[in-house]
Structure 1
Amino acid sequence: VSFSLSSSAQRSDNEWFASVGLNAINSLGTQSPINSPGDWANGLPISLGVELGWTSGLSIEQAFTLNKFSEDDVIDNADLKEDYTYTSFDTHVKYYFGKHIFPEADWLDFYGNAGIGIFSIEDTNISANLGGGVLVWLNRRQTIGIRGQVIAKFALNHKDSGLDNNHYQTHLQLVFAL
């Protein structure tokens, strides 16, 4: 006679999640996503998103971010002479692979994401985005969590774009199951 219990952290199909949090922008003209965090833009750091898990491990997210560069901030080694507002709309496909690395840790999940976006500082530019992050669930039912992620945004028209150039965006968000 045997008795067994098991649980799984895999997401089921058609699960919806909302996220709200903060973001910071590293547009210092370096290849390092963690270079000089004290100089990142974080004047109006709003980050919002809606995510749909459509199959095990895969999801799609639509995100909106708002931020602000202040006078005397630096974008690609250029000192700004006035304030600028940063806005972006990004669509990402995410793959959650944490269960393959830590199968027993159903409260922790890592993911990679890729997608496209449109952003504006002075003008408007389109970006190809690549990033990743970690999601830490705060309860067993996985209805609320904390997410940290870094996204590299490669501006498609970066040679002629002025301020609207390649940059990194870092997020810290609360995630809610809907």
Structure 2
Amino acid sequence: MKYLNILVLLFFISACSEKPADMNNQLKYEKDGLSFSYPANWEVTEDFVSEDVRFVFVESPGDAIIKIEVYPTEQSFELKEFVELDVEALIKEIPSILELDSDNEIKEVKTSINGTEFHGLKYEFNISVVNIDVPHVSESYSFPSHEKVAYLTNQVAKEDLGKVNGGFKQVLATFKIEP
């Protein structure tokens, strides 16, 4: 029981440790045809290729994350199918000590940044540990190019969305993929 209490405490300490995105300072990421700007207090933690699919992870100082996946066009998906597969993977990968609840409803979302509209899909879910709930939100967008399709997915606890939403929008607005 002591182990469980420590795990629950660590889970909620990390869930409450989000810091606001540093929107006054930004860093630029440019590598192998991908480029975007992101808050200076965030970090690109991974950039690797596995079976022709490129994965890039951008993480906030807390638990917010942006996952970028780049597929060759012939292996790409419609955005809704991509989100459905992402949700299936989340359900399979969640540790058994955590419970995942969702209404399985994927909703359309429009985000306007400096006059440009981005159309994506939003998925909300709840992670709970011993009946303590932490609602989360995830949004996904696709960026097709001539030879590739990039998918950007951001995810964060709902209570922290206000702290990191500016950072999510910054990456989304500045994202570019070249052939």
Q: Same fold (TM over 0.5)?
A: no
**Structure of higher RCO (CA pairs closer than 8 Å, 6+ residues apart):** 2
Choose between structure 1 and 2: higher strand proportion: 1
Query: TM-score under structure 2 normalisation?
Result: 0.29
| Structure of higher CA gyration radius | 1
